[in-house]
Amino acid sequence: MLKDYLKITDDPKTTREIATRLIDEVTINIKGNIRKFYTSLMLSKMDEEILHYTPTASPEEREGLRYKFIYDYWVYGCTVDEEYYLHLKDMTASEKKEYMGRQLRNIYVKHLNWSAGPERVEKLEDKYRLYQILKPYYKRDVIEIRTLDDIEAFTAFAKKHKVFVVKPADFSFGIGVHKFSMDGFGEDYKAALESILSEGEAIHTKHPSKVARMVLEELIIQDETMASLHRGSVNAIRATAVKGKDGQIHIYHPWIKVGIRGSFVATAAQDGFVSEIDPATGCLMTDGFQETGDVYTHHPDTGIKIKGFQIPRWNELKEFVNHIMAELPEYGYIGWDLVLTPEGWCVMEGNYSGEFMFQLINGRGYKKDFEELIGWKYDKDFWWEDAERFSHN
């Protein structure tokens, strides 16, 4: 069995031997179809990702990293990007155990959101479905398009909003999100609709687990103070709402996402940075951090000092979070992206298992802190023991 040889160690030779067995033996059950977890395609994509982060490494060094990361995935639940931006690849076993890697975090989120039922993930990750539940809190027009049969609804929307936001219906990390303008289409609404639908089909082809549906949203007009940080992007607050052991909703280590260099989508992984917010005051407590390792004391475009910047109407944000969580009482964890408009806070979107970017910002793991907040600790040795779809030869 897998647990018979999967052990925690810092010895490179042992981790490589274990990783080799994992590649050969781990299988996954997808709707009754059992196959090897590591396909040649998956391994090649992993190699591409390693090459992206370490382009100067030799083939031998990249091969060693592949085995290291495969081992770390099954032991600590971390992904390749986390290995780099959290610097996990350079840490000891005891240091890595302090972090909430993506897969391990999913276990804790599953525990907190269990009462939401079997569709708990889809209910939040499907952007249009969540909009329908929380429409008054979005404070803007949103539609979903699936086929050319939606031409009537699309035409009415596009006549009202000549520039709008296009999002894949169930993607994360800001992938595929962009502004769309009708300027190049004139009154040819069918051609515009076909163009957007083709984007959805391309995403579905590349990522078969995703849907081809696209969500169109009216542009959010930001509060002037928030816009002054960087006018090209929507500078959203990640307010992660967590139900603590006291039964109350806590905004857990909130942070802001700010774009740079005119980027519309603000993420630490792309053209943007993140900074942690004091949950009591709404004041930025840190410099701006990117996943690349770059740190900004001032915004590189606007020159605004990041640490010490005051988010306006912070107490209203805290009240707003309590209101929207009351609409979804079955959830104990949601990562809300919120934007301040002149009329108050609005929902950009909700995230089922939002990232712990404050681990990047503060350079340490928060596993014990999070367990103390919620009053629960995962009692198995490895994260995958909670996932029935994994097995082994």
CATH number, domain containing residue 117: 3.30.470.20
CA distance 300 to 305: 10
Pair (280, 146) in one structural domain:
no
Dump pLDDT digits (tens) for 121-146: 999 989 999 999 999 999 999 999 99
Range of the domain at 267: 111-123+222-374
Pair (320, 297) in one structural domain:
yes
Pair (161, 207) in one structural domain:
yes
SS3 30: strand
| For residues 154-174, average pLDDT | 88
**Stated pTM of the model:** 0.92
Q: What is the pLDDT of residue 390?
A: 46
Pair (193, 262) in one structural domain:
no
CA distances from 272 to 223, 256, 283, 288, 294 (A): 19, 10, 19, 9, 10
Closest listed residue to residue 102, CA positions, set 379, 372, 365, 369: 365
Q: What is the pLDDT of residue 389?
A: 47
Q: Which of 53-57, 68-72, 107-111, 388-392 has the lowest mean pLDDT?
A: 388-392
Closest listed residue to residue 215, CA positions, set 268, 272, 138: 138
Pair (167, 307) in one structural domain:
no
Pair (244, 156) in one structural domain:
no
Pair (145, 289) in one structural domain:
no
Dump pLDDT digits (tens) for 19-46: 999 999 998 887 788 889 999 999 999 9
Pair (89, 162) in one structural domain:
no
Closest listed residue to residue 265, CA positions, set 182, 168, 152, 188: 168
Dump pLDDT digits (tens) for 283-307: 999 999 999 899 999 999 999 999 9
Q: What is the pLDDT of residue 24?
A: 93
CATH number, domain containing residue 214: 3.30.1490.20
Q: What is the mean pLDDT of the chain?
A: 92
Count up the domains in the chain and report the number.
3
Q: What is the pLDDT of residue 174?
A: 65
Kindly state whether residue 22 falls inside one of the protein's structural domains.
yes
Q: What is the pLDDT of residue 393?
A: 41
| For residues 274-288, average pLDDT | 98
Pair (63, 183) in one structural domain:
no
